[in-house]
A and B are shown apart, each in its own frame.
Chain A
């Protein structure tokens, strides 16, 4: 099984901050990675797929990068609507999610 390690688990930031979340895989994913945003009581929403392709309707302040086993989600300027929990997901072998990163208000 491919294990996904996401960091940090919690992040406190302010509106306008640049935010970076990292996901590490136990095997080379060949860019088979997606990022999701989840708000309380709601289903996740895809932000990025194939490591760096922006999902439909997703604001351009979200950027995905990385390769092989290390991937990053960056929010260039945090907006009030961005306070949420973020998950990475690998689909290189079956499917596995990272443990999540909760972005809180500082």
Chain B
């Protein structure tokens, strides 16, 4: 059973860049059957997909966030990372990393998740 663990600062100042890393417990990070995603959830609200990266390094981002998001992959460390620039209070949320199962050649559902990490944007 793969485990994912988010890490990074819990507080970021407005206009700065939010940076998080997700550590993956096994070698599924190099298997082409999976992609690797970031999802966030403001307190008391629903889930928002941020973007994903494939083992090839190809990325896809949410249209609403694509101008501010960068996701990268380091298979040697079994990690993938999120950078979100120019943050505001609206970016305050619990951030989850998740493994995306590729079904019928399509990135599909999230079959494993990290526990989530709260990031607050405040001066």
Contact = CB atoms under 8 A, between A and B. Distances in A.
B49 A94 contact: yes
Contacts of B110: 34, 36, 44, 46, 89
Given A87-B47, A95-B49, A34 B115 contact: no
Interface string A34-63: 101000001111100110000100000000
Interface centre among B46, B48, B60 (most CB of A within 10 A): B46
Contact of B107 (A45, A91, A99): A91
B109 A46 contact: yes
Nearest to A43: B113
Given A49-B103, A94-B63, A44 B47 contact: yes
B116 A50 contact: no
A45 B110 CA distance: 8
A2 B113 CA distance: 23
A32 B108 contact: yes
Instruction: Summarize A's interface: helix, strand, loop or mixed.
Output: loop
B62 interface: yes
Given A43-B115, A49-B103, A97 B109 contact: no
Contact of A97 (B47, B103, B108, B116): B47
A100 B48 CA distance: 11
A37 to B, nearest CB: 12
Contacts of B116: 43
Contacts of A98: 46
A1 interface: yes
Contacts of B42: none
The 6 closest A-B pairs by CB, nearest first: A43-B113, A34-B109, A95-B49, A97-B47, A49-B109, A91-B108
27 contacts: A1-B63, A34-B108, A34-B109, A36-B110, A42-B115, A43-B98, A43-B113, A43-B116, A44-B47, A44-B113, A46-B109, A46-B111, A49-B108, A50-B108, A87-B46, A89-B47, A89-B49, A91-B109, A94-B60, A94-B62, A94-B63, A95-B37, A95-B52, A95-B62, A97-B48, A99-B46, A100-B46
